[in-house]
Structure 1
Amino acid sequence: MERVQLERLLDGGDETSLAALAALRAGASHVVWDGTTSAESLAKIYGRRLRLTRRKGIETSGLERAVQGLDLYGRPVRLGQIRTADGSWIFMLFLDEDGSTLVACTGVRHTQPGPARTDTW
């Protein structure tokens, strides 16, 4: 997905989407993967991550709202990721099947930025 398309999807969203948009405009890397995944299964996975991050005191943005949104959405979603240029935040994007609508967005702070990894979320 082109950067400009992604910027349009994030513009005018909630606080987390706007933070992801700011990161993108500041040179963050991004990817939107092909294929879809069940929103229900992602709600369960990210629900566990919500509990884990709270238990460990890891800073997140919009995670609870994303879990709720995925749980209610009920249709397959495409996944995307934005990683800040300094690696301090990773934002996960949940898009509708054709990538034209942002379903949910969440971010997690990484306290020890390092090389770009796609398996952290």
Structure 2
Amino acid sequence: MTRDDLAEMLADQTPACGPARDALLSGGTFDVWDGLVPANWHLNTYSRRLRHTQKRGIATLGLTETVGILRQAGDEALRIGMIRTADRAWTFILFFNAAATTVLACARGGRVQPEDD
């Protein structure tokens, strides 16, 4: 997968996709891992992260939507990836279909203010 391929896949799946695309096109790095994991395995992890960030007032971008997308995907096998900004200040987690031809969801964490849910 090329940088341009990935940039084209990042649309409006979640509010984090636009900033992830901007980070990628501004010199950020990216990885897409080979392994496949059922969406519901990710759901448990990212549901806990969402509760943790909400409880502590840690800002997220697209995490609420990502958890919903993972819930809907059920036991569908997903591939994951990551975009890191050039300054390494932000990391975006990406969830792809099994063939890594479609971004299903994208989320970013940080410490500013919680998103409105």
Aligned residue for 2:80? 79
| SS of aligned partner of 1:82 | strand
Matches within 5 A, 1:34-53: 34-53=34-53
Matches within 5 A, 1:11-26: 11-26=11-26
With normalisation by structure 2, the TM-score equals 0.88
- Give the structure, 1 or 2, with the largest relative contact order (CA under 8 Å, sep 6 or more): 2
Q: Provide the residue aligned with 1:89 in structure 2.
A: 90
Give 4+ residue runs of structure 1 displaced > 2 Å after superposition.
11-15
RMSD (CA atoms) = 1.5
The structure-2 alpha-carbon separation of the partners of 1:14 and 1:71, relative to structure 1 and needing over 3 Å to count, comes to closer
Task: State the identity as a percent.
Answer: 37
Aligned length: 111
Aligned to 1:109: 110
TM-score where L is the length of structure 1: 0.85
Structure 1 residue 82, shift from structure 2 partner: 0.5
> Is there any run of 5+ residues in structure 2 with no aligned partner, and where?
113-117
CA distance in 2, matches of 1:103, 1:33: 15
Q: CA deviation at 1:13?
A: 4.2
